[in-house]
A and B are shown apart, each in its own frame.
Chain A
Amino acid sequence: MSGSLTIVLILLVFIIVYQIAKASEYATILRDETKVNAQTNRLMAWLLVAFFFLGLWGIWECHEALKGRLLPDSASVEGEEYDNMFATTMWVTGTVFLATQAILFWFAYRYQATEKRTAFYYAHNNKLEIIWTTIPAIAMAALVAIGLKYWFKVTDEAPKGHATVEIIGKQFNWLVRYPGKDGALGARDFRKIDDANNVMGMDWNDQKNHDDIVAQNGEMHLVVNRPVKLIIGSRDVIHDVGLPHFRMKMDAVPGIVTTMWFTPRFTTAEMRKKTNDPNFVYEISCDQMCGKGHYSMRGTIIVETQEEYDKWLASQKTYYAETQAPSVPETNPVAPSADTTKPVASKN
């Protein structure tokens, strides 16, 4: 009932507005039309200028209100370059934005029609065209140069001595796999996937798989200041590993392996201090539409010191032990897995 009442009310408002607008049209004809038109023209010129200044004020207010909610400084060493490049691009485009918008609204106001004015017949000027073709071309070339320098750096091979972690997307959570003491990830085959015992389809004939550790809670542990290369894959549809704090993302495509590497700069604890936020956590977002649970495909990254990482790793069971050899006593894997950290650590 209230719904239809609202609709009737809205309709009524529209009819009233329409009638008033219509009346003003008749009034224009009754009064001296040229005079009314001149008045309207002046009013519009003023309103455009007002819009421009209100807009500038709005931009300022918007920035003041939101700047505190942006991301903290890049949490990866590589992302710092992103931040610099973003700032440079912002300066270039910001200047052009302000200049062209100011000119647009200024011209609109300055050259509004008056009885005395006649338009200046000015059809072309090739010199001007050349100038404003060349300048943007140079500016763009500079931005391309800066961009590609960074692009080739981050898409190049990960530095030597990097850690390797695999992250696999599935509807709708992330699976994380760490190579065990052998430092290598074993082979996977999607035909071997079994949601109960083999979520990643690891091939148990491959010895490299036996010491791999799989986390299904979407948590990824990384060591601060040590480059890490993510091996990215997907079990079903396309997902995307989005790491806003580290300023990067990469698609997870079924049937294709993609990679991405970076060097975390701050541990989670450091970041909590830095941002004054005890609940701060690095999040992994899915950035490629993947179905109804897309918005809930949340992972987290815990960046910690080498000691903390080693301690955490020591407490983990290999996936093989967890699923294929349940008879192995609980305490057993702890001792060897303490060893597993050694080769990893020695690479540092």
Chain B
Amino acid sequence: MKKSAGVLAIMSIKMSEVIIQGPNVAHTHSGHDDHHGHEHHEQHFITKYIFSQDHKIIGKQFLVTGIIWAIIGALFSVFFRLQLGFPNDTFPIMEKFLGEWAKGGKLNPEFYYALVTMHGTILVFFVLTAGLSGTFANILIPLQVGARDMASPFMNMLSYWFFFISSVFMFVSLFIQTGPASGGWTTYPPLSALKEASMGSGLGMDLWLISMALFVVSSLLGGLNYIATILNMRTKGMTMTRLPLTIWALFFTAILGVLSFPVLFSGFVLLIFDRNFGTSFYLSEIFVGGKALPNIGGSAILYQHLFWFLGHPEVYIIMLPGMGMASEVLSCNSRKPIFGYFAMIISLTGIAVLAFLVWAHHMFVTGMSPFLGSIFVLLTLLIAVPSAVKVFNWLTTMWKGNIRFTVPMLFAIGFVSLFISGGLTGIFLGNSALDYHLHDTYFVVAHFHIVMGVSAFFGMFAGIYHWFPKMFGRFMNPTLGYIHFFATIIGAYLIFWPMHYEGIAGMPRRYYDYSAWVSFNKFDGLNAFISIAAIAVFFAQLLFVVNFFASIWRGRKVTTMNPWGSPTLEWTTPIRPGHGNWPGEIPEVHRWAYDYKDDGNGNDFIMQTTPLRPGEEAH
């Protein structure tokens, strides 16, 4: 390993010579199309960094937008945690931020619900969908499959800008007088359909729906592009079974998104109709605001079916990129191939297929037919099998490895730990007989925050720390990274572990204040404890933000092409790859992505581009 770094350093110097050598060499090849390579270099700032069609820039745009949203979403959780932890105190600082929503430093219940709703919407969609797969699908797919760019760079650019406009709508909704949507991130009608039912169901909900509709467009444009690129633009020799697992994971993520987001969209369209054009898709027999509405014959449950038909695959849209990146990082830092590569692909396939067949486990207590419920119990618990296979494969990947604890490796280990913890509680909730009591309690809050909140974030952090050198040509500061890791994993368990107890005791989620409830107010002290832990974790995340932005300009420079000693293709590009990724020909691939064996030159890995040795068999 140590030697290899030296060898690579020399290689990279040679490479940079090639780049510096003469404009001709670099120029003719750096455009994604050789024919107009020359004009390409005189790019204006706007076309290079803003309306860019370079997948790497678009990926960074998604990432930075995602980080900004994550800060907003996390700040909201701090505000409502203050209310939950200290319902009898006032916090004048909140009034500074929230104005009349927190008059005298006390959060108003309606705005409490708006904050909870926005926290969920922002983190599920804007951070862990767009910010996560938007970032890594963009940065990694062309680099790891060996393509100059996405199949359609223009559509790719549109994908980001639709996301941006969607973000603008959502952001604007935070500032209107009646506040943003406040019916929960699932926005179940009739609550979300009737202006009379809640203040947030007025203009705030309209903006929410517009924003989400645009978001779906963004997600589809991105997803179709990712699928097309992976299927059609792999370099010579890069068969599907030589792809790194990150690409497989992002591939399934895109398929899930493309197949399920349109259903969500249709659900939203019907909701828009019900809200504005007097239809009765979701409304029936309602008396609200002192009068009976004319709507008859609709079904409020229909919305839930449409919503969760996306909503559940959405969970895997959030999880799969993290799974892929954790696989990659675990393997690279254990200096071992990922164990059971094919089993990993099969289990990803299993998860992706089952993801479409389990949505109604969110609806066991809606009065749905118990027989239908029983089918969903079976299919839901079935998904534990491929998940377990993945965990065992990760553990075996570490077995007898030579483990380097880089920051991304720690986050990948944390990912596995949290995935186990959060996954196992899913076995309780997926069993309708247990969900009969646990449904919509803090047990659910604990479960999904650990498994698709924190765990997915750990996958994302592992990815950011690991590919930061590829994105910016610099390293993030490892000391800050280590502090960030331990503060976050300890804090996350402190926040969410005790919540299981609250849930077992039946404490409902989405309550503004528990003090009137004799069954639940015995958790007052615990709620304060959780709030303090949450605020501490929030500040630990700011440490990451500081590290991220400072390292873009001040981080330690990357001096070797392949700083982590990884065999995959992205590390064959220059340290700061230009538009088009490879200055010369796109390299040909000869082996799979995990050839961590002695290459005969003192390296403990063999690049995918290295031809097979005589007598060597391909994986």
Could you list which residues of chain A lie within 8 angstroms of chain B, going by C-beta atoms? 3, 6, 10, 14, 17-18, 20-22, 24-25, 29, 34, 40-41, 44-45, 47-48, 51, 55, 58-59, 62, 66-67, 69-71, 79, 81-82, 85-86, 89, 92-93, 96-97, 100-101, 103-105, 107-108, 111-114, 117-125, 128-129, 132-133, 136-137, 140, 143-144, 146-148, 150-152, 154-156, 170-171, 190-191, 193, 195, 201, 232, 235-238, 240, 242, 244-245, 247-251, 253-259, 279-281, 283, 285-296, 298
Contacts and interface: CB of A to CB of B under 8 A. Distances in A.
A146 B374 CA distance: 12
Contacts of B542: 14
Contact of B197 (A18, A89, A249, A291): A291
A135 to B, nearest CB: 8
Interface string B565-602: 00000000000000000000000000000101100000
Interface stretch (B26-34, B305-313, B459-467, B498-506): B498-506
B511 interface: yes
Contact of B381 (A44, A101, A120, A140): A140
Contacts of A34: 2
Contacts of A51: 486, 489-490
B536 to A, nearest CB: 12
A123 B341 contact: yes
Interface of B: 2, 92-93, 96, 109-110, 113, 182-184, 188, 190-191, 194, 197-199, 283-288, 290, 292, 296-301, 334-337, 339-343, 365-367, 370, 373-374, 377-378, 381-382, 384-385, 388-389, 391-393, 395-396, 398-405, 410, 413, 416-417, 420-421, 424-425, 427-428, 431-434, 436-437, 439-441, 477-480, 482-483, 486, 489-490, 493-494, 497-498, 501, 504-508, 510-514, 516-520, 522-523, 526, 539, 542-543, 546-547, 550, 554, 556, 594, 596-597, 604, 619
A45 B395 contact: no
B365 A250 contact: yes
Given A25-B479, A66-B498, A292-B113, 14 more contacts: A18-B480, A18-B546, A21-B480, A25-B556, A69-B523, A97-B421, A118-B402, A123-B337, A236-B288, A242-B506, A254-B300, A255-B297, A292-B110, A298-B516
Nearest to B337: A123
A320 B62 CA distance: 63
A248 B381 contact: no
A287 B292 CA distance: 24
A337 B339 CA distance: 74
Contacts of B389: 129, 132-133, 136
Contacts of B506: 71, 242, 244-245, 285
Contact of A244 (B398, B505, B510): B505
24 contacts: A18-B550, A29-B556, A41-B403, A47-B486, A51-B489, A96-B424, A101-B420, A104-B420, A111-B398, A111-B399, A122-B400, A123-B619, A144-B431, A151-B436, A235-B288, A236-B194, A237-B188, A238-B191, A255-B298, A255-B300, A287-B508, A288-B188, A295-B512, A295-B513
B382 A140 contact: yes
B523 A291 contact: no
Contacts of B518: 279-281, 283
Given A10-B539, A59-B497, A244-B506, A100 B395 contact: yes
A156 B518 CA distance: 31
Given A71-B505, A292-B109, A124 B284 contact: no
A108 B421 contact: no
Contact of B439 (A69, A93, A111, A249): A249
Nearest to A137: B385
Contact of A89 (B399, B428, B517, B554): B428
Contacts of A114: 402
Contacts of A55: 493
A279 B518 CA distance: 8
A125 to B, nearest CB: 8
B564 to A, nearest CB: 13
B377 A62 contact: no
B198 to A, nearest CB: 5
Contacts of B190: 236-238, 254
A44 B411 CA distance: 12
Secondary structure call for the A interface:
helix
A186 B217 CA distance: 49
Contacts of B339: 122-125
A129 B389 CA distance: 7
A86 B184 CA distance: 28
A14 B546 contact: yes
Given A119-B335, A136-B385, A148-B377, A236 B405 contact: no
A89 B431 CA distance: 10
Contact of B365 (A92, A190, A249): A249
Contacts of B504: 70-71, 86
A55 B489 CA distance: 10
Contacts of B546: 14, 18
Contacts of B439: 240, 249, 287
Contacts of B424: 93, 96-97
A126 to B, nearest CB: 8
Contact of A121 (B283, B297, B365, B596): B596
B491 to A, nearest CB: 12
B396 A128 contact: yes
A187 B74 CA distance: 49
B84 to A, nearest CB: 10
A82 B498 contact: no
A117 B334 CA distance: 11
Contacts of A3: 92-93, 96
Contacts of A81: 433
Contacts of A107: 395, 398-399, 401, 403
Contacts of A119: 334-336, 400-402, 596, 604
B338 to A, nearest CB: 8
Nearest to A201: B287
A105 B417 CA distance: 9
Nearest to B374: A148
Contacts of B510: 289, 294-295
Most B C-beta atoms less than 10 A away, residue of A71, A244, A245 = A244
Task: Give 4 closest A-B pairs by Cβ, nearest first.
Answer: A244-B506, A255-B284, A258-B367, A44-B405
A287 B494 CA distance: 25
B341 A22 contact: no
Contacts of A293: 109
Given A121-B336, A123-B337, A288-B440, A133 B385 contact: yes
B183 A289 contact: yes
A290 B388 contact: no
Contacts of A47: 486
Contacts of A14: 542-543, 546
A71 B519 contact: yes
A103 B271 CA distance: 48
A18 B288 CA distance: 55
B434 to A, nearest CB: 6
Contacts of B373: 151, 155
B340 A155 contact: no
A98 to B, nearest CB: 10
A18 B543 CA distance: 8
